[in-house]
Amino acid sequence: MLLTRYITFRSLATRKLRTFLTLFAIALGVAGIFSIHSTNQSAYISITRLFEGTSGRVSLEVRSAAKVGGIPQELLEVVQAKEGIDWAVPILILPATLPGETPVELDLTFFGAGAGGLILHGIHPEDDPKVRDYEITQGRFLSPGASSREVVLVEDYAREQDIAVGQDVTILTGSGLVDLKVAGFIARDGAGLTNMGKFGVLELALAQELADREGELDHIDIVAGVEGGPASLEELRESLIASLGEAYTVVYPASQGDRMAQMLSGYQIGLNFMAGIALFVGAFLIYNAFSMTVVERTRELGLLRSVGMTHRQVTAEVMIEGVLLGALGAVAGAGGGALMFRGLVELMSQITGQELEVGGLPLGIMAGSMGVGMTVTLLAAALPARQAGRISPLEALRLRGRSDDRWLLRYGWIAGTALLAASAGILIWNPFPYDVQFRLGSLTVFSLFFGAMLVIPVTLQAWQSLWRWPFRLVFGGVGDIGTRNLERAPKRTMLTCAALLVGVSMIVVTQGMTGSFTADLYPWIDAYIGGDVILGSSVPLNRDLKEKLESLAEVDTAAPVRYIQVSWQGEREVEEISFMAVEPDSYTAVTRFVFSDPEVQGEKAVAELSRGRALFISSVISEKYGLNPGDDMRLVTREGEKEFRIAAVVLDFFNQGLGVTGNWADLEELFDIHDVNTFLIKGAEGVEIQEVMTRIAEDYQEEYQLVIESNQAIKQRAGELMNQAFGMFDILGIIAVMVAALGVVNTLSMSVVERTREIGMLRSIGMTRFQVVLMILAEAALLGIIGGLLGLGFGVVLTRIFLAAMGAMSGYVLPFILPVRAFWLSLFVALLTSQLAALLPALRAARTPMLSAIHHE
């Protein structure tokens, strides 16, 4: 058998391009699965670590029931006196910034805009390390006692800022500048992970002094000493709530990590879907390449059969090729996957605004994806190999592909129609509850896809006659001859169309999702990032700044905005939502609200908001909880639960749409908050935006550590951020289209090889080389049209499923808007791809030597 093995290796070597492309397909699939799974894993590990690091061993937290504002320090003793508590440590959060550190742009993530900056925790130096890990990397930890004006910073951050241990640093807090001595550095791990490592700690009393919040805490972290798991912890929690009273609440420290995990899981569903597609297109390409090789080697294999090789041995020959390619491809894929993994992690970090750990290579996942790659390769090679085994010795003397696709024509459409009907039924009839449906979603998608694919063979003739006239116009009479060839290898045609379908539908989905998003998102972004200039700061801004700003000649209006987290007593449970406080007058002078109901009388709604105790709720909340104007919402304030009347529903995607807009007066009165997050500035008539920015910078930037950005710049960055999120789909669409193109190349090459004699005959009876090219191009064009139109339809359905699934999951209900561009783009891409891919086989066909074609046989 050594000789035949040699023949196999040689056959790989002579078909360099195809061998390379097959390897590429395998590697692509392996790399896709590997990188996607390791990214998922890394995301989970990062979240868990972040959560464990920052929360440490904390099992419960005491906070103000109003979410905002502090709690009195006396509470600490009350808590510590309770039974079943090992440790209770106080924390006061002190937002700060280093002068000169002012970022030039606002931090923009899907969680909203902020100004970054340093977070300092005021703690008890002896107690806190018992709850959280502080790894001293240089110097020492805080010495106890308020007299020491010391700070300990995360080393990475400090080094970035050129700060050394022992040095004095000037830090700006809400109450002004202060000099602190850097006692030591901690590692960016454990507690050092807080605020993405822009973090430090100081003595609680000192923090209270600097924050001007004597006797106040933000929360008390509790390490419970109870045995007996969740039940007894819940008991402890309830007893704490009972003894602390209404104004305070005790929560599990999980909510932050949960939010992140939820957000990531949405993205992961998308990633998994893509891994599935990578697998399919990879398998297709491998199958395609192997069939091609078998077709080309028919004579050779027939000869081997005639000199005494058994079916089995021939099959084994082809399978050995598969094993070899599979192994090589898997190794290459593992390498490529490691790189893609890093890229994906980077992308995820960008999108979530949360840095992810890369860590070491997850070897288990790597081995797993290599295994999947090998398996898929062998499965995809198995059919062509079996076909090779069935080559009769006689076939050494013939050069014709046979069609063994009869069952496909006979039964394929039945299975296909059944699948289509079933998935259409699920989609239209909608018999399942949302979460079941969501799980069924991907199943429906795949059954729809396979259904559409399986009906291609029986509909080929219909497609062909439907497009006969346009094809005659473009390609002449030979176009007809070309398109009819597709019927000769229905299986191959079906798979090639399916590959095109996947590519095109990816493009349609991207376009559709982007279209639907932007149609809703842009008006909101436009209003949300309203005014001409936005001011932010990493330290709390004083509301007095408003008057100072408005006194400038360049400024017309300055509208203060403050975001807080509030608890809302929903129907079943307490929900956390964001509350954006605005002064209705200044806000509407600078920007506008985007009411989701265009019929709404804006002025009346704003007037109602101005009267107080009223809210504008987001469309997401309205959809998700079935709330409408006129209904009431009970929010937990510092004064206890209060009712707010819903004045209108607005488009608002801040905090993933879980937000309400309220009145500034309510913020001051009910939440006792007086500082400002951002000012939206409207420039005075006829003043250039740049001038406004320069003037504000000159007068107030240093004093207030202002981040000044024009809303033009922010909008642009918001757009870029969104494009980045969609960019991944774009890339996948392009890869899918490329793979489809390779499929078209292989399919047409096969078709040309199989028809050598026929093409020779056509040439001999007077077909010019150019007409041969046209004939093959027409064949490809019909492939493109079938793949393109089906892909368009499939893409539209897929987009709707995605939108519906997203709506079910998060409450974002977006209108389905397919840009007209998507329609043309998909058909154009399908046609162009097929034509470009057909060029090589077409030229090869045109060079078919007539004589040998006729001579043989």
| Residue ranges that bind another protein, judged by CB under 8 A | 476-478, 480-481, 484-485, 487-488, 757-758, 761-769, 771, 850-851, 854-855, 857
Q: Decide: 227 and 64 in contact? Cβ < 8 Å.
A: no
Q: Which residue, 78 or 850, has its beta carbon nearer to another protein?
A: 850
User: In Å, how far are 46, 271, 302, 667 from 93, measured between CA atoms?
Assistant: 23, 37, 80, 20
Which pairing describes strands 574-582 and 555-569: parallel, antiparallel, or unpaired?
antiparallel
Q: Which residue, 476 or 719, has its beta carbon nearer to another protein?
A: 476
d(CA 406, CA 819): 40
CB of 653 to another protein, least distance (A): 55
CB of 478 to another protein, least distance (A): 6
CB of 413 to another protein, least distance (A): 20
CB of 760 to another protein, least distance (A): 8
CB of 487 to another protein, least distance (A): 6
CB of 761 to another protein, least distance (A): 4
d(CA 221, CA 229): 18
**C-beta atoms surrounding 811 within 10 Å:** 18
d(CA 125, CA 142): 6
CB of 281 to another protein, least distance (A): 29
Q: Which of 110, 128, 262, 97 is nearest to 195 (CA)?
A: 97
CB of 846 to another protein, least distance (A): 10
CB neighbours of 353 closer than 8 A, spacing ≥ 6? 107, 109, 110, 111
CB of 477 to another protein, least distance (A): 4
String of DSSP letters for 763-774: HHTT--HHHHHH
Q: Decide: 266 and 810 in contact? Cβ < 8 Å.
A: yes
Tokens of 552: 């400038």
String of DSSP letters for 330-378: HHHHHHHHHHHHHHHHHHHHHHHT------S--HHHHHHHHHHHHHHHH
CB of 851 to another protein, least distance (A): 6
CB of 417 to another protein, least distance (A): 25
d(CA 337, CA 827): 32
CB neighbours of 234 closer than 8 A, spacing ≥ 6? none
d(CA 235, CA 257): 23
**DSSP 8-state assignment for residue 132:** S
d(CA 732, CA 505): 11
Tokens of 619: 């469309």
CB of 30 to another protein, least distance (A): 39
**C-beta atoms surrounding 832 within 10 Å:** 14
d(CA 789, CA 223): 61
Q: Which residue, 265 or 852, has its beta carbon nearer to another protein?
A: 852
The gap between the terminal CA atoms of the chain, to the nearest Å, is: 30
CB of 526 to another protein, least distance (A): 57
Place of tokens 């991207």: 510
Place of tokens 């400002």: 676
d(CA 24, CA 102): 47
**C-beta atoms surrounding 809 within 10 Å:** 15
Q: Which residue, 152 or 399, has its beta carbon nearer to another protein?
A: 399
Q: Decide: 616 and 661 in contact? Cβ < 8 Å.
A: yes
CB of 755 to another protein, least distance (A): 9
Helix (H, G, I), strand (E, B) or coil at 555: strand
CB of 480 to another protein, least distance (A): 7
User: In Å, how far are 16, 24, 345, 366 from 30, measured between CA atoms?
Assistant: 21, 10, 17, 9
Q: Which residue, 591 or 771, has its beta carbon nearer to another protein?
A: 771
Q: Which residue, 128 or 754, has its beta carbon nearer to another protein?
A: 754
Q: Decide: 706 and 696 in contact? Cβ < 8 Å.
A: yes
d(CA 728, CA 734): 10
Q: Which residue, 140 or 406, has its beta carbon nearer to another protein?
A: 406
CB of 396 to another protein, least distance (A): 17
Tokens of 637: 């304030």
Q: Which residue, 479 or 530, has its beta carbon nearer to another protein?
A: 479
Tokens of 329: 């491809």
String of DSSP letters for 82-95: STTEEEEEEEEEEE
- Alpha carbon 217 to chain centroid, angstroms: 37
Q: Decide: 564 and 671 in contact? Cβ < 8 Å.
A: yes
**DSSP 8-state assignment for residue 485:** G
Q: Which residue, 259 or 484, has its beta carbon nearer to another protein?
A: 484
